[in-house]
Structure 1
């Protein structure tokens, strides 16, 4: 299985006359990103999924050359083996491990692990409803990462029955919805509140990492969908802290 992106398509088809090309065959097991599909549509090229791709003679000759290496880098180098200091950005494209998108993925990985640790804590304390809400968040975080890796758009979302607009509203005006003003976390508020606060602050770190990963040298920002989702997620942890302190998780 391979991931076919728009940039990879452009490289594949640069030798072809796009006006004469009517069809592009890909294996059924391959994943074609939305941007790649849009590129094909713009050039009136039909995307056809097949079990086996029949190769022309010249294509076979080109394949022999391609098979001499397994990886390529974003700066054009071709490699037979993956160096220890590099990792996959997408498909067989390698980048240095300190690439901003790789650092972002590492931050997301850390957030996932901390959510799991908080679930274990809540399990020991018998906080089943908090565990359930955290599981929804964990699934959402994994969805964010999947959309980033596959370069898919993160579509509209709903968390704990709230839209992104409602998440912002309730976190900004807690007194209106919970009868409690914003507060400074304190150890006397208990383990669950402090653990949720740690997840909130870590989510802000992930959001800043995303901004660094998707802001170019001219200040233009890509993947606003991911940055917005992380912003609302940090708001959700605030909401959970208010819910816990006002005994909402104790109600049936």
Structure 2
């Protein structure tokens, strides 16, 4: 039996006025393209959706390698740290068919996500173009945004296949995305839950926002694999645990 959907709210104690002040200070008024990571960004890590994917990746590594659970888990995280994603590592070192892998690991229960009307309203108010840029598959991304009720708000989903299976944070993934859609990075903003995935966007001139869990909420498993992903840095322009509230503030600033 499916568990009831978890709350998708990012709402914290920060007021809209405070969000507006932060948005103005960071200079988002020039932005006309809004780029969002998918997992643990458009929905909170507390939904545990990505935990399902993580477990499926471990199961896949076990089946392919013949290793026990602990050894397969260690190999999985070795691939992740060395290559950026487990998929990239297995493709590079084991000749993996990426399509079979993605179909297996994204065969999960998306019903844990509930509609997010506040987030939908905030994204809808953003002026300009909106995209999803993910290391996952298009099918998975479509399932996620459909559950959240935001499918009609994005111009396109740029998935790992569109990036020729080169994952973020590799610069080639961002370059392919920007070139395909004719995006000027100096007029774009990137929202991510992994700090390392904001290094290249910041270097390209994009505004960068790190989406973090609320106090007391669990960290996403990807963030826990590296201490550098648990905090910001010089490549992070802003951090928020309230994505809907922050986006609402950006829309107000852009409308001025």
Same fold (TM over 0.5): no
Q: Which of structures 1 and 2 has the bigger CA Rg?
A: 1
Task: Considering Cα pairs closer than 8 Å and 6+ residues apart, tell me whether 1 or 2 has the greater RCO.
Answer: 2
TM-score normalised by the chain length of structure 2: 0.25
TM-score normalised by the chain length of structure 1: 0.25
